[in-house]
Structure 1
Amino acid sequence: MTAESPIKLDQFLKLMGVAPTGGAAKMMVQDGHVLVNGETETRRGRKLMSGDRVTVAGETFIVALTVQRSLE
């Protein structure tokens, strides 16, 4: 069995297209514009796991991490 790897909050915001750059993601988080599981999160390095809910500007994203196995 393989454990899922967490993703950092700022990386997640970039991946979802909420923030165009890492710097923009950092500012959004530090300025208190991001909620994780209903609570304001100011740590851009917060590790997210599957099932976490990230809310920005009234839009909520549910984290769904997947594990892929290499066929090599």
Structure 2
Amino acid sequence: MSSEIANYIGYAASFFVVLSFILKDIKKIRFINLIGCVCFVIYGIFNNYLWPVIIPNGILCGIQVYHLFKKK
């Protein structure tokens, strides 16, 4: 993958994470933040395995999925 495409994925990730702070509905917040975190994981992988980016965002993906699908 070209570095230009990887950069666009990083910009998209940043956009989704910031957007998640603007929303008020918790399910929407978690879903949009999940998209941002997945994009950051992809960005980290395509930029020579940036572990400081991949690890926390991978953990956050798991947390968001857990909260989106847990029973109330």
TM-score interval, smaller chain: under 0.3
Question: Normalising to structure 1: TM-score of the pair?
Answer: 0.22
Question: Normalising to structure 2: TM-score of the pair?
Answer: 0.22
More strand by share: 1
